[in-house]
Amino acid sequence: MKDIFFDLSVRSVRLNFLRSILASIGIVIGVVAISSMGMLGTNMQLSVKQQLSSNVNTVMISSDVVRTTSTAGNPITSQGIDKSTLNDIKNSAGQNVVIPIHNTRTQFTIGSTDGRGSIYGLDPNDITKFLTIAQGENIKGGSDALVGANIATNFNMNIGSRIKIGQDNISITRPTVRVAGILASRGFASDGVNTDNAIIVPDTWYTDHFGNKDLYDQVNVILQNIDTINQTEAAIDDKVNRKTEVVRISDASSRLSSISSTLGTITTFILAIGSISLVVAAVSIFNVMMMSVNERVQEIGILLSIGTEKGEVRRMFLYEAFILGIIGAGFGGICSLVIGYSVVSAMIGNTAYFFLPESIIYVPYGMIIGVIVCVLSGLYPAWRASNMDPIDALRNE
Amino acid sequence: MKNAGMDESPLIRLADVTKVYHLESGDFTALNHISLNISEGEFVALMGPSGSGKSTMMNQLGILDVPSTGEIFIAGKNVAKMTSLERTHMRRDIIGYVFQKFYLIPLLSAYENVEYPLILKYKKRDITGKAAAVLKSVGFDKEMSAHRPNQLSGGQQQRVAIARALVNDPKILLCDEPTGNLDRKTGFQIMDILTGLHKEGKTVILVTHDPKIAEYAHRTIELEDGRVVGS
Domain boundary assignment for chain A: 4-52+257-395, 58-251
Confidence of residue B195 (pLDDT cuts 50, 70, 90): very high
Phi-psi region of B109 (alpha: psi -120 to 50; beta: other; left: phi over 0): beta
ipTM given for this complex: 0.92
Average pLDDT over all residues of chain A: 86
pLDDT at position B2: 42
Q: Is A94 or B166 the better-scoring residue by pLDDT?
A: B166
Q: Answer whether B125 sits within 8 Å of A2, measured CB to CB.
A: yes
Chain A residue numbers touching B62 (CB-CB < 8 A)? 305
Q: Is A255 or A250 the better-scoring residue by pLDDT?
A: A250
pLDDT at position A340: 92
Please check whether residue A101 is in contact with residue A121, taking contact to mean a CB–CB distance below 8 angstroms.
yes
CB pairs below 8 Å between A and B: how many? 64
Cβ contacts of A72 within 8 Å, gap of 6 or more: none
Give percent above pLDDT 90 in chain A.
35
pLDDT at position B31: 94
pLDDT of residue A186 exceeding 90, the answer is no
- Work out the average pLDDT over A208-230: 84
Q: Which of B93, B102, B119 to mutate to test the interface with A (most CBs of A within 10 A)?
A: B119
A283 in contact with B at a CB cutoff of 8 Å?
no
A302 in contact with B at a CB cutoff of 8 Å?
yes
- Work out the average pLDDT over B79-89: 93
Minimal Cβ distance to A305: which of B91, B115, B119: B91
Phi, psi for A268 (deg, rounded to 5) = -60, -40
pLDDT of residue A247 exceeding 50, the answer is yes
Q: Answer whether A307 sits within 8 Å of B88, measured CB to CB.
A: yes
Give the integer Cα–Cα distance in Å for B164 and B154.
15
Chain A residue numbers touching B119 (CB-CB < 8 A)? 4
pLDDT of residue A22 exceeding 90, the answer is no
Q: Answer whether A308 sits within 8 Å of B125, measured CB to CB.
A: no
Work out the minimum CA distance from A299 to partner chain B, whole angstroms: 6
Work out the minimum CA distance from B162 to partner chain A, whole angstroms: 12
Q: Answer whether B125 sits within 8 Å of A8, measured CB to CB.
A: no
A297 in contact with B at a CB cutoff of 8 Å?
no
- Work out the average pLDDT over A320-337: 94
pLDDT of residue A222 exceeding 80, the answer is yes
Highest-scoring range by mean pLDDT, A23-27, A125-129, A270-274, B59-63: B59-63
A396 in contact with B at a CB cutoff of 8 Å?
no
Among chain B residues, CA nearest to A302: B103
Minimal Cβ distance to B91: which of A299, A307, A391: A307
Chain B residue numbers touching A315 (CB-CB < 8 A)? none
- Work out the average pLDDT over A382-390: 95
Cβ contacts of B24 within 8 Å, gap of 6 or more: none
pLDDT of residue A59 exceeding 80, the answer is yes
Give the lowest-confidence range in A53-57, A324-328, A371-375, B137-141: A53-57
Degrees to nearest 5, angle at CA A308 with A305 and A313: 110
pLDDT of residue A351 exceeding 90, the answer is no
Q: Answer whether A309 sits within 8 Å of B85, measured CB to CB.
A: yes
Confidence of residue A229 (pLDDT cuts 50, 70, 90): confident
Confidence of residue A384 (pLDDT cuts 50, 70, 90): very high
Q: Which residues pair with A163 in a beta bridge?
A: A110, A177
Give pTM, 2 decimals.
0.73
A127 in contact with B at a CB cutoff of 8 Å?
no
Chain A residue numbers touching B93 (CB-CB < 8 A)? 307
A1 in contact with B at a CB cutoff of 8 Å?
yes
List of domains in chain B: 40-63+83-230 (3.40.50.300)
Chain B residue numbers touching A4 (CB-CB < 8 A)? 112, 115-116, 119, 125
Please check whether residue B92 is in contact with residue B117, taking contact to mean a CB–CB distance below 8 angstroms.
yes
- Work out the average pLDDT over B103-116: 93
Minimal Cβ distance to B59: which of A304, A308, A391: A391
pLDDT at position A64: 59
Give the integer Cα–Cα distance in Å for A33 and A274.
5
Chain B residue numbers touching A305 (CB-CB < 8 A)? 62, 64, 91, 97, 103
pLDDT at position A275: 87
- Work out the average pLDDT over B208-220: 92
pLDDT of residue B15 exceeding 50, the answer is yes
Work out the minimum CA distance from A308 to partner chain B, whole angstroms: 6
Work out the minimum CA distance from B159 to partner chain A, whole angstroms: 16
Highest-scoring range by mean pLDDT, A165-174, A312-321, A347-356: A312-321
* Residue A209: closest CA among A181, A147, A167, A171: A167
Confidence of residue B6 (pLDDT cuts 50, 70, 90): very low
Work out the minimum CA distance from A376 to partner chain B, whole angstroms: 25
pLDDT of residue A138 exceeding 70, the answer is yes
Cβ contacts of B115 within 8 Å, gap of 6 or more: A4, B125, B126, B131, B167
pLDDT at position A68: 47
Degrees to nearest 5, angle at CA A40 with A35 and A42: 95
Give the lowest-confidence range in A22-31, A49-58, B169-178, B207-216: A49-58
